[in-house]
Amino acid sequence: MKIIRRNLPLVVTAAIFAALFGAAGVCYDGFFSVRVATSLLADNAFLGIAAIGMTLVIFSGGIDLSIGAVVGFTSIFTATLVSGHGVPPAVAWLLALALGAALGAAMGTLIHVFKLPPFLITLAGMFFARGMAFALNTESVGITHPLYEKLSNFDFALGERVHLPAAALLFFGVVLIGYLIAHHLRFGRTLLAIGGNEQSALLMGLPVGAAKIGVYALNGFLAALAGIVATLYTGSGNPVMGVGLELDAIAIVVIGGTLLTGGRGHLLGTLLGVLIFGTIQSAILFDGRLSSWWMRILVGALLLSFILLQRWLVRGLARRG
Amino acid sequence: MKNPDSRPRRPVSPLVWLVAGLALLVLLNLTKNPAFLRVTWHDGHLFGTPIDILTQGSRTMLLALGMTLVIATGGVDLSVGSVCAITGAVCALTLQHGQSLAVTLAAAIGVGAAAGLANGLLVARLGIQPIVATLILMVAGRGIAQLVTDGQVLIIKHAAFEFLATGFVLGAPFAPLAVGALYLVSHAALRRTAAGLFIEAVGDNETASRFAGLAAARVKVLAYVFCGICAGLTGVLIAANIGAADGNRAGENAELDAIFAVVVGGTALTGGRFTLLGSLLGALLIQTLTTTMYNLGVAPAVAPVPKALVIVGVSLLQSEKFRALVARAWRREGRSGA
Amino acid sequence: MSDEPLLQLRGITKRFLGVTALDGVDFTLRAGEIHALLGENGAGKSTLIKVLTGVHAPDAGTITLTGKRIAPASPKDAEQAGLSTVYQEVNLIPALSVAENIVLGRQPGRFGFVNWLAVRRHARKALARLEIDCDVDAELGSLSVALQQMVAIARALDLRAKLLILDEPTASLDEKEVAELFGIMCRLRADGLGIVFVTHFLDQVYAISDRLTVLRNGQLVGEFPTASLPRLALVGKMLGRDVSDESGRPASASTATKNAAATVLEARGLGRRGAVHPFDLTLRRGEVTGLAGLLGSGRTETARLLFGIDRADTGELYLHAQRAALPSPRNAVRLGLAFCSEDRKREGILPNLSVRENLIIALQAKRGGARSLARAEQEKLCAHYTAALRIKTADAETPIKNLSGGNQQKVLLARWLATQPELIILDEPTRGIDVGARAEIEALIAQLRADGLAVLFISSEIEEIVRTCSRVLVMRERRLAEEVSTADLTPGRLMQAMAGAHEES
């Protein structure tokens, strides 16, 4: 009982996922299939990776609007290097990851050192990354490279008919690492403490500045990783890739039970959030009669109910205290 | 030598910076294209790049008007772009059903006001952070817009409606004139009544305002409603401009441009003092920037890069820490020079 | 109790922008002792603690801990030296677990990983030492404030602390919780820890402390064994008055009360749980009613109830004998009330707005927003009050944040006078402002009485209250304890009431 009460948002999220998935399975023939489940993961892998980074930033009480643009920039950057200049993919990836982390660190520094609003600075980061993406190329660039072929055909056989594509594996890896960071590393605990009360965190002697800058850098890194996964998934780089991705990521984080004002949440909630997001998407596809825009309306409705639920939970706590 | 920060100096009006920035951009353009500022008379109306900038910029200006008040209360409204999409879709529908232009405009204003009211109630009554509260409608709104248009781009064939965005009155473009008129009306309404003062008071220190007898929550709700109405009317302009309602794309990134215009215009994101004229000029600056990029042969899609630099620059100028740092460096310079 | 001092402060001096907050203060703490640190507002208690905990560096003086000179540069530094602090506002993270709050920043584990088993074990041990029974996995925010306070103590002690500073730990605890806290303090004392105990509650000082040190206006008044200093003498030391002080009051104040004067506001049984015990109160026209009491006695809470900032959960309020509901300050303003808050910065000024706007805002709010006051009228009001209250400002358009504290206060007074209220509540209107402005504000209050306003005047300054009030209500421990009428109004009598008369005379 205690464990359930303590993790109420997480439990609610899990229940919603189970209900949605179950309902979709009952309504649509063939929904309960390995193919649906794996594609649900593979289709949302890059969104999921970005959402993990966003979760950590939101834990610290910040927000990052730039990730969608970083995904776009990374994809066209990688494609340009690999296809245009013959750079080996591994080198291009390393460069892209370094750039993503550097942009994140720069934004984190501005936010922490000059006490500027994260919203505004990452908005600037978004403009910057998107603009630079278009400066590289305004068109989509296809990537043809043996390594890309190999990776996009790669899958990991879990059983006879169960194959996990590389993107899904990578997503699981990031979830695992994110979980370790958030719940088992001092860094992650410091982030939650900062999001809970930055002043107290300072008085407790926690390394507030380093953690804040670090989390934006990590988020930039993960956004770049998401961008690389996106090039694997589509086999091309495109400067418009990831438009609006930051909104989906924020929505997923909130649906995953994380408090948008920071300081409270569970990283595995974000995994559930991605699954809910993917289930709604697949169900709408399966239905055929429901149009794609119901996706946004449902996500909005889920957002509203979660924010109200959190409001209610936090108020309840405040009253008791 | 005088100590530079011994006495608080009166800050330079942000409008001066804006005008200087605009002038700089115009100069840059003139070196590339000496005819940049030329306005001619053509087909019975004015014609030229400045006219284009005004016409194209009028939509961001309109959004920025409403956004200014919300930001002045210490909030922000992320949903305006989605609201634009919804009202555009609603307009297309009412016109298709043979309703008059007046009914259509009333519907647009009504939809905008309702959206603003929803945002305002979430923020002021339930105490939800503005970014969070308006994110909901930002996400859901685009879906609602597509629901209204059934996912299609609805073509609008209605001369009077299109006139709103593309028409000319006595040779002058109608949209900027209408936005200008709305600015004058809002300015008068805010400064003739105490509404402007109340908004600034609530944004500057909400607790103190409440203790002085202000209905802070109501002031905030009304600011969001006004912002919603402006977004609704912007949706009309967008739909009229392209002669179609596109639930998916209409008003994309419009909220970001509006926030940019307001911040660059000199209204701080922390709330308090606001200037509507600054926001209008900020919107004009964005549009000029985009046009300049085009003139310089840079793809317009790259225009966000200078925008980003302007945002960072303006934020740093507003940061106390940065100013203290600069002041210290300045003093050290002065001492070593002496 | 050993005589070897654990902590010794000698000649600590601290100045802020020319204002001397601490002037050569000495302080000695012995091991195994609970030492109360007392003083009214501006006495320098919090500055002294901030110097101790490394928040401020002293301009002069030395700190010696167990015979070694130390100079803590940050709270972390101080903690490592063995000086731990628990603040009134629990400075922990409510959303994290009890165990984590105890170890945060020094979690056991390797390579940046947290060993959760060790964390729990450690936390259980830390709590067991204090004999606190609570689930270490519970979310801190779900505990009562008292338990949170004890977790904070457990965290502080976890650092092998030699010395514990408790800064107003009992401010939001009820009696039972205070007793539990005292139990813990006694146990720690028995363990040989030195405890600095900052509080406003005299009962608690006498209940637990061995010794006490009194500060006033940044200077050391003295150190006394608690048992040998009578309560009244202590209050006298805190307020800087001689107990037998019967010194006079100006004749003008005593003649003003007329019992026949119309009642403006009457409270019957008004109260709010956790803030003020139910009280009765009558405020009349042409009368300055003082509200006295030591810091934390519930004066401001009373004012907030009357002005509708906090909702009363019992009792009724009558305005001109009519039952009135005050759900918000807005209603209060419309009904002719005015409230000048003690927290000028957070609850008073609109910092970036001009003097003119700050001055007219309440009047404008009272009249409604539909029509702005004519600019000419605004300027007339400004000119009138700038002259009448001698507000020093470059012009009416200067942002109020550029004015000195005294002038800001005068603008706020003008803000309320402009609404022509029937009742004005002044909460510490002279705090933090210079002597000249203080005299002017006192003169103004006399003028208001002559004009027929009802004034409720809250102050910590005994002289000020005696000089300006017609009668004084005294609060003790969140209770309206006593009324001192015109005839008895002397500083000595007032101090007796503030200290709690039952012990004395």
- DSSP 8-state assignment for residue B265: T
Using a CB–CB cutoff of 8 Å, tell me whether C110 touches chain A: no
Q: How many Cα neighbours within 13 Å face the side chain of C457?
A: 32
Instruction: Say if the Cβ atoms of A297 and B140 lie within 8 Å.
Output: yes
Q: What percent of chain B has pLDDT over 70?
A: 94
Question: What is the SS3 assignment for B7?
Answer: coil
Nearest to C93 among A180, A193, A317 (CB): A193
Q: Which residue has the tokens 């490592």?
A: C80
DSSP for residue A84? I
What are the extents of the domains in chain A?
A: 2-320
Question: Higher pLDDT residue, B73 or B28?
Answer: B73
Nearest to A296 among B76, B132, B139 (CB): B139
- CA-CA distance, A132 to B299, in Å (whole number)? 11
For C325-383, write each residue's pLDDT tens digit: 877 899 999 989 999 998 888 899 999 999 999 999 999 999 888 888 889 999 999 99
Flag whether B6 is in a domain: no
Question: According to the 3-state scheme, what is the secondary structure of A124-146?
Answer: HHHHHHHHHHHHHCCCCEECCCH
Q: Is C402 in contact with B8 (Cβ distance < 8 A)? A: yes
In a domain, B327, yes or no: no
The Cα of A259 is separated from the nearest Cα of chain B by a number of Å equal to 10
CA distance A120 to chain C (A): 22
B50 vs B292: CA distance, rounded Å: 11
Give me the numbers of helices (H) and strands (E) for chain A, helices first please: 16, 4
Quick one: pLDDT at residue A320? Answer: 45
Q: How far apart are CA C448 and CA C264, in angstroms?
A: 14
Q: How many CB atoms lie within 10 A of CB A180?
A: 13
| Residues of chain C positioned with their CB less than 8 A from the CB of A184 | 113-114, 116
Task: State residue B4's pLDDT score.
Answer: 38
Residues of chain B contacting residue C369, judged by C-beta atoms under 8 Å apart? 193-195, 198
Task: Give me B138's structure tokens.
Answer: 């930002």
Partners of residue C341 in chain B, C-beta under 8 Å: 211
CB–CB of A316/A8 below 8 Å?
A: no
Q: Enumerate neighbours of B (3 or more CB pairs within 8 A).
A: A, C
C142 and A193 within 8 Å at the Cβ level: the answer is no
Give pLDDT, residue C79.
82
* Separation of alpha carbons C211 and A176, rounded Å: 56
pLDDT band at B335 (very low <50, low <70, confident <90, very high): low
Query: Of residues A3 and B212, which shows the higher confidence score?
Result: B212
Residue C1 has a pLDDT of: 43
- Domain range spanning residue B159? 14-19+51-312
* pLDDT of amino acid A264: 86
Of C221, C217, C169, C232, give the one whose Cα is nearest residue C195.
C169
Reported ipTM exceeds the 0.90 cut: no
- Ranges under pLDDT 70 in chain A: 1-6, 158-160, 314-321
Which CATH code fits C253-503?
3.40.50.300
User: How far apart are the CA of A226 and the nearest CA of chain C, in angstroms?
Assistant: 26
Is C346 part of the contact surface with chain B (CB cutoff 8 Å)? yes
Residue with tokens 């907030």: C304
The Cα–Cα gap between C186 and C168 comes to: 17
User: B308 or B333, which is more confident?
Assistant: B308
* Residue-by-residue DSSP string for C395-421: -TTSBGGGS-HHHHHHHHHHHHHTT--
Contacts of B212 in chain C (CB under 8 A): 329, 333, 361-362, 365, 415
User: Within an 8 Å CB–CB cutoff, is residue A197 touching chain C?
Assistant: yes
At B9, is the pLDDT very low, low, confident or very high (cuts 50, 70, 90)? very low
CB burial of A269-280 (b: ≥16 within 10 Å; e: otherwise) equals: bbbbbbbbbbbb
Mutate to test the interface with A, among C93, C135, C167 (most CBs of A within 10 A): C93
Helix %, strand %, coil % for chain B, to 5?
Answer: 70, 5, 25
Q: What is the CATH number of domain A2-320?
A: 1.10.3470
Give the mean pLDDT of B205-232: 95
How many contacts (CB atoms, under 8 Å) link A and C?
74
CATH number for position B155: 1.10.3470
Q: Is residue B322 situated within a structural domain?
A: no
Question: Which residue in the set A185, A201, A263 is minimally distant from C112, CB to CB?
Answer: A185
User: Rounded to an integer, what distance in angstroms lies between the CA atom of residue C178 and that of residue C10?
Assistant: 32
Q: Which CATH number fits domain C5-242: 3.40.50.970, 3.40.50.300, 3.40.50.2030, 3.30.1490.20?
A: 3.40.50.300
Evaluate whether residue B244 is within a structural domain: yes
Angle, CA of B154, B159 and B160, to the nearest 5°? 105
What residue ranges do the domains of chain C occupy? 5-242, 253-503
User: Counting Cβ atoms within 10 Å, is residue C3 exposed (0-12), middle (13-18) or buried (19+)?
Assistant: exposed
pLDDT tens string A141-175: 888 888 887 777 777 776 667 777 888 888 999 99
What's the domain count of chain B? 1
* B259 band by pLDDT with thresholds 50, 70 and 90: very high
Whether A263 sits inside 8 A of C93 (CB atoms) is yes
Can you name the residues that pair with C63 across neighbouring β-strands? C9, C70
Residues of A in contact with C75 (CB under 8 A): 203, 205
Q: What is the pLDDT of residue B334?
A: 65
Residues of chain C with pLDDT under 50: 1-2, 248-249, 251-258, 503-505
Q: Which residues of A touch B269 (CB under 8 A)?
A: 117, 119-120
Nearest to A132 among B127, B137, B305 (CB): B305
Write the residue in B269, B304, B316 that is nearest to A128 by C-beta. Answer: B304
Tokens of B312: 């960072």
Which residue, among B132, B148, B262, B323, would best test binding to A if mutated, counting the most A CBs under 10 Å from its CB?
Answer: B132
**Cβ contact, residue pair C75, A203, below 8 Å:** yes
Chain-centre distance for alpha carbon B12 = 22
Note whether C5-242 and C253-503 share their fold. Answer: yes
If we measure between CA atoms, which residue out of B257, B119, A302 comes closest to residue B111?
Answer: B119
What is the per-residue DSSP string for C141-162?
A: GGS-HHHHHHHHHHHHHTTT-S
Cβ contact C86:A204 at 8 Å: no
CB of A319 within 8 Å of a chain C CB? The answer is: no
From CA B265, how far away is CA B21, in angstroms rounded? 11
Backbone angles phi, psi at A77, to 5 degrees: -65, -50
Residue, of B76 and A41, whose pLDDT is higher? B76
Q: Does A205 touch chain C (CB under 8 A)?
A: yes
C25, C8 contact by CB (below 8 A) = no
Q: Do A193 and C75 touch (CB under 8 A)?
A: no
Give the E-state strand segments of C422-478 in sequence order: 423-427, 454-458, 471-476
Q: Tell me the β-bridge partners of A142.
A: A236
Identify which of C306, C245, C312 has the alpha carbon closest to the alpha carbon of residue C278.
C312
Nearest by CB to residue B146, choosing from A135, A254, A293, is A293
Residue C95 to chain B, least CA–CA distance (Å): 18
| Tokens (6 digits) for B96 | 């298709």
Instruction: Provide CB contacts within 8 A for C83, sequence distance 6+.
Output: C7, C52, C53, C65, C72, C161, C162, C163, C165
Between CA C440 and CA C429 the distance in angstroms is 11
A contact chains, 3+ CB pairs < 8 A: B, C
Contact residues, chain C, for B207 at CB < 8 Å: 346-347
Cβ contact, residue pair B213, C339, below 8 Å: no
Q: Chain B interface, mutation test: which of A64, A107, A126, A127, most B Cβ atoms within 10 Å?
A: A127
Coil, strand or helix: which one is C396?
coil
Q: Are the beta carbons of A321 and C144 separated by less than 8 Å? A: yes
**pLDDT of amino acid C242:** 63
**CA nearest B135: which of A255, C250, A166, A185?**
A255
Q: Which amino acid is at A225?
A: L
